[in-house]
Structure 1
Amino acid sequence: MPNRVYISFLRLPLLVRILFIALLVFLTFGISIHFLEPDTFPSIFDGIWWAIITASTVGYGDYVPHSFLGRLTALILILLGVGIVSSYFGTLAAAAVTKQDAFSEGRIPFKGTGHIIIIGWNERSRELIHKLTSVSIPQMIVLIDETLEANPVKSRFVHFIQGKGHVDETILKSDIQHAEKVLITADRGNDELQADMNSILTLLTIKGLCTQVKCIVEILTAEQVVNALRAGADEVIQSNKLTSVFMVNSLHSNGDGLLSNVVHQLQEVKLSSFMAEEKDIGKCFGEVCQRLLNQGFLLIGIKRGEDTVLNPVHSFTVEENDQLLIFK
């Protein structure tokens, strides 16, 4: 039985073991001094108080032993207690520093709900994280990347995890079961096809662990869009296609940077979709557009099933189950 207790004690964290030893020392010497000098230390509590104050080298002087045995006990306590107390606080400081280093280096799992997971560190994810953390009520973000050695963002709303996105252990550290959305960015440092393969492999890992979480994937090659959808992507962003559209419009413009200004303004607003209300069903697009304008919203199109119609004619009729695409 004593051996089992000793083994259980050894399994405790070092900080807890030192704390238990310190408490045992304080109790032993506090009780001993009470029985050695009951007139000076009327109660056991007074003895324990004296033991703690003496061992911590504070020494208020409100209780002082007078007998030879009492002073010998105090001498032993000072020699023994200072080492224990110093070890305790030294271990506590070392544990705090180790914990902080592990947190900064991405070795601490995240625990929370409703967070956004961003996989891959690049200029796009940097800008996105800056936008998400600059709002009045920021949402918690978990950044996963294997190339970083420490958290690149100094924000309490960004939790960094170091590791490969297609490894189960790394994804589980992000508390994927309670995440709201996952954004997988493409690694432009690799060949485009290889980057897409890595993104799809990461997507398969995530969907294998948590099928219900919504995943947005950045794909560089048009051929891999279908594979990303087959792997379970809820939305695919073809960044190269978006860039080419931007370039074409710039070439056809008058060189006044109009498209750049529009894109810059779009960073400050949000595109959302809402199910058409019952009062809008059967009405024409122009009427619904005017009603939303009066509320401060800009209606730009209708999503009907798999089809999306941008800026339809004003006579376009809104039907049941239509989704309104709105800038707000």
Structure 2
Amino acid sequence: MFQAIYYKFVESPILLRIFGIAVFFIVSFGTAVHFIEPDTFPTIFEGIWWAVVTASTVGFGDFAPKTTAGRLLGIGLIFAGAGFLSAYFINLAAAAVTSQNALREGKAAYENKNHLIIVGWNERTKEIIDHLQTFSISRHIVLIDDSLRTNPYSEKIVHFIQGIPHRDEILQKANLKNAASALITSDPNKNEMYADMNSILTLVAMKGSSPSLYCIVEILTNDQVINAERAGADEVIQTNKHASAVMLNSIHQEGASTALTHLLDPLNGGLLKTMAPEPDWVHMSFGELAINLLKERVILMGIQRAENTMINPPLAVQILSSDRLLVIKH
């Protein structure tokens, strides 16, 4: 039994061990001084009080041993107890500094749930994080990146993890299995094909660890879109394709890019959403539903039906229960 207690004590954290030894000395010396000088220390508690004050080098002077034996006991307590108490507070401060450095340098694991994991640090990531902070209900963000050495944000906003995102130990640090969703951005420092390969590799690692995790992945080349979908991507963002579409609109209509940016900017009230039709809307025409939604300050833009997306379809098209409505709303 004593051997089992000893092994548990040895295996416990160093702060707990030092604190335990200091408490042992304080209780032992406080009890001993009560029996050595019962007149000066009428109760064990008063002896322990004297031991705490002496070991912490505060020295109130309300209790003090008067006999030689009691004073020798006090000397022993100062050498033993004070040393362990000092060591405890020094290690406590060092642990706090180490923990803070680990958070700043991306070495600490994330322990909360329902967070958003963002892979890759770039200008797009910065814009996303900045915008998310403006929402009334913001989800905590875990940023995984191999190029950064310190957290670019406060730990209250972003929990930074430094490392290669497709490694299991890094995903475990990010508490992947308890995350709500993940966004994998493309590395701007690599060529497009190599960047897509890394994004898909990270996607495979995430889906392998947590198949139910909702994953959004940024893909730059058209050829890799199918591979991202095969790897389990719930959404594929084709950045180059979207940028090309905006540029084409600007070629045909000057100022179109500015209009589109304002239209889709969440800070401008343009939050693009998909929503399921309510039972009363089924079999209504697109035109009729669009007028009804405008009364609620919701703009109906199109319909997602199976694999097809119809933007501004004919007004007579009927709404089906399986449709997803493409709207802009607050």
Q: Is the 8 A contact 1:285 1:315 kept in 2?
A: yes
Structure 1 residue 11 displacement after superposition: 1.3
Q: Distance in 1 between matches of 2:313 and 2:69?
A: 98
Q: 2:46 matched to which residue of 1?
A: 46
Q: 1:128 matched to which residue of 2?
A: 128
Q: Is the 8 A contact 1:188 1:195 kept in 2?
A: yes
Q: 1:78 matched to which residue of 2?
A: 78
> Secondary structure, in 3 states, of the residue corresponding to 2:128?
helix
Q: Distance in 2 between matches of 1:152 and 1:91?
A: 28
Q: Distance in 1 between matches of 2:128 and 2:119?
A: 12
Q: Distance in 2 between matches of 1:184 and 1:210?
A: 15
Structure 1 residue 3 displacement after superposition: 4.6
Counterpart residue type for residue 137 of structure 2 = I
Q: 2:260 matched to which residue of 1?
A: 262
> Secondary structure, in 3 states, of the residue corresponding to 2:117?
strand
Q: Distance in 1 between matches of 2:184 and 2:260?
A: 26
Q: Distance in 2 between matches of 1:288 and 1:113?
A: 38
Instruction: Please show how residues 146-225 of structure 1 align to structure 2 within 5 Å.
Output: 146-225=146-225
Q: Deviations over 1:43-83 (max 9, x none)?
A: 00110011001111111121121112112222222222221
1:290 maps to 2:314: no
Q: 1:11 matched to which residue of 2?
A: 11
Aligned CA-pair RMSD: 1.5
Q: Deviations over 1:229-271 (max 9, x none)?
A: 11111111110111111222222233xx342143134222321
Q: 2:103 matched to which residue of 1?
A: 103
Q: Distance in 2 between matches of 1:311 and 1:32?
A: 89
Q: Distance in 2 between matches of 1:263 and 1:233?
A: 26
Structure 1 residue 311 displacement after superposition: 1.2
Q: Distance in 2 between matches of 1:178 and 1:184?
A: 17
> Secondary structure, in 3 states, of the residue corresponding to 1:325?
strand
Q: Distance in 1 between matches of 2:201 and 2:104?
A: 27
Moved more, 245-254 or 110-119: 245-254
Moved more, 18-27 or 127-136: 127-136
**Which 4+ residue blocks in structure 1 deviate beyond 6 angstroms?**
none
Q: Deviations over 1:133-183 (max 9, x none)?
A: 222221011111111111111251311111111111111221211211111
Q: 2:276 matched to which residue of 1?
A: 275
Structure 1 residue 301 displacement after superposition: 0.8
Instruction: Please show how residues 61-76 of structure 1 align to structure 2 within 5 Å.
Output: 61-76=61-76
Q: Is the 8 A contact 1:193 1:221 kept in 2?
A: yes
Q: Deviations over 1:279-328 (max 9, x none)?
A: 11111111111111111211111111111111112222112211111111
Q: Which runs of 5+ in 2 are unaligned?
A: none
Structure 1 residue 4 displacement after superposition: 4.5
Q: Distance in 2 between matches of 1:31 and 1:314?
A: 90
> Secondary structure, in 3 states, of the residue corresponding to 1:303?
strand
Q: Distance in 2 between matches of 1:309 and 1:194?
A: 33
Q: Which runs of 5+ in 1 are unaligned?
A: none
Counterpart residue type for residue 129 of structure 1 = I
Q: Deviations over 1:185-242 (max 9, x none)?
A: 1112111111111111111111111111111111111111111111111111110111
Q: Distance in 2 between matches of 1:324 and 1:186?
A: 29
1:57 maps to 2:57: yes
Q: 1:311 matched to which residue of 2?
A: 312
Change (3 A) 1:7 1:278: closer
Q: Distance in 2 between matches of 1:61 and 1:223?
A: 82
Q: Distance in 2 between matches of 1:323 and 1:6?
A: 64
Q: Deviations over 1:116-139 (max 9, x none)?
A: 111111110111011112222210
Q: 2:327 matched to which residue of 1?
A: 326
Provide the identity percentage: 47
Q: 2:233 matched to which residue of 1?
A: 233
Question: Number of residues paired by the alignment?
Answer: 326
Q: Is the 8 A contact 1:138 1:157 kept in 2?
A: no
Structure 1 residue 92 displacement after superposition: 0.3
Counterpart residue type for residue 283 of structure 2 = G
Q: Distance in 1 between matches of 2:8 and 2:211?
A: 41
> Secondary structure, in 3 states, of the residue corresponding to 1:169?
helix
Q: Distance in 1 between matches of 2:138 and 2:276?
A: 26
Counterpart residue type for residue 60 of structure 1 = F
